[in-house]
Every structure is written in structure tokens, then in C-alpha cells.
Amino acid sequence: MMKNFFYFFAFVSMFFVSCSSSDDTAMQGVLVTKMIQSFEDGTVETINFNYSGNKLLGQTFDNGYSTVTYTGDLISKIEVFFNNALESRTLYTYDSNQRLTQFERYEYDDFSDYGDKIVYTYNTNGTVSFSEYSGNLDNPLTLSDTGTFTLNAIGEVVSASTLNSGDTTYTYDDKNSPYLNVLGLNKLLFDEDPNGMIHNIVQELNSFNYNRTSTFTYNAAGFPVTEQIEEDDEIINIQYFYNTDN
């Protein structure tokens, strides 16, 4: 699951963060170009990011690659391929305010095809409710979960309450996400789960005793250069590289 998240990216206009100082102007050009992940079993995986300007065209990784499709400045589709076979397709739908209203992911293998769809509702109190539908693609997707996200002032999810997974809180640092300047990712602060697209998630605490922590080191511009993830007694180490590296 963790590996699939990184392949996907990772895998959001009210959430746009404006910058005014000269240092902030310089930060706007920083793009993550490579990640190296090291797992406890000795596996090392490298992910390379490909761009046109600040539009993410896709990623390449061991035995696979992904492609990213934009509609205007919004990410509308991501496809992941392994050994040149389509493994997953993800679709994003937005409202007239460029807020994410629907997330769809379809996964394909030799045995069965699986689908997952989440529909989001923006409430007047500032929370976001969602309904999730999932199942085998041979049949209509059925309701599998419901929940609510609570957001901070810039749209990051600080807590989630779901029928199946209980209550979860998220803590962020005050530094820059590696994905801060990738066009369209500021509209995807959540999909299936919260994403660290502006700041980095340093802790995730769940009422079912699930705990995930990330410890970062940063470069002079405040972007992560290393991350150590501790999750379910597993440790994953990540190195980040940028287009501004010497």
C-alpha cells in the first residue's frame, strides 16, 4: 500500500497559497525530480519525475511508469503502468470553483478489476463530507464508507471521521512539501486520504491505535531532503532530489 502511494505520487482555488517575498518567489521554481525509497527488506526503488514547465507529465520507476493528464491547469487523469500493462486509472472531477468533487480509481489485474469512487460535498460549516463506493467492476459499485474531513485555513485535512476507520488526526510541519510547486496538486489536498501537498504530514493518529510518523530533514529553502517513515513497525527511508540541486 505504501509503495502504491508513492507510485501514484503519490498517490486543492480556495486552497491556493500566495507568496510575496523574494525568497518565496525563488521557492516557486523548485520541483522534485527524483525520490529514492529504501525499505527494511533491502529493496531500493527510484522514482523519477518528468515535467513540462511545472506540469507533471508522469513518473518512471522500476518496471513501470505513470502518465498525468491535465484539463487546463487541473489534473484530470493519472494512469499507472507496470511491464507496459495498465494497472490503474484515476479520474478527478472538479466544480466551478476548482474544488475536487469526485475521485475515481480503477485497478486492473489478471483475475478481477476493482473500482473505488468517492463523492465529496462541501458543507456550509467548512467541513467536507464524502461517500465512498467500491467493488468489483463486474457489478455496480456499492456504498462502502462515509465520513467527514475537517480542514484548516489553507484546506489541509486536520482530522477525519469515517464509519470504517474511526477518527484520525493529522499534524503538519511548517515547511514546504516536495510537491508544492507542481501545477494542480494544490487542488488535491485529499483524495482517498489527506495528502501533504503544501506542508508535510509529520504524524497521523487513529482511534484504532494506528500511528504513522515522519521525521524530515530539510534544505535551505525548506524542502525535505530526507524522510523516515515509521508505520506498523516498518521503517521506510526516502531521499528527495530537486531541479535546483547542485
pLDDT per residue as tens digits for the range 58-70: 999 999 999 999 9
* pLDDT for residue 191: 85
Q: How far apart are CA 204 and CA 68, in angstroms?
A: 28
8 Å CB contact between 61 and 47: yes
Q: How far apart are CA 38 and CA 44, in angstroms?
A: 5
Asked whether residue 209 carries a pLDDT value surpassing 90, the answer given is no
In degrees and rounded to multiples of 5, residue 22 shows phi and psi of: -65, -35
pTM (2 decimals)?
A: 0.88
Q: How far apart are CA 130 and CA 245, in angstroms?
A: 40
Cβ partners under 8 Å of residue 125, min gap 6: none
Instruction: For 35-90, write each residue's pLDDT tens digit.
Output: 999 999 999 999 999 999 999 999 999 999 999 999 999 999 999 999 999 999 99
Asked whether residue 100 carries a pLDDT value surpassing 60, the answer given is yes
In degrees and rounded to multiples of 5, residue 23 shows phi and psi of: -65, -40
Number of H helices, E strands in the chain: 2, 16
8 Å CB contact between 226 and 238: yes
* pLDDT for residue 4: 42
Total count of residues recorded for the chain: 246
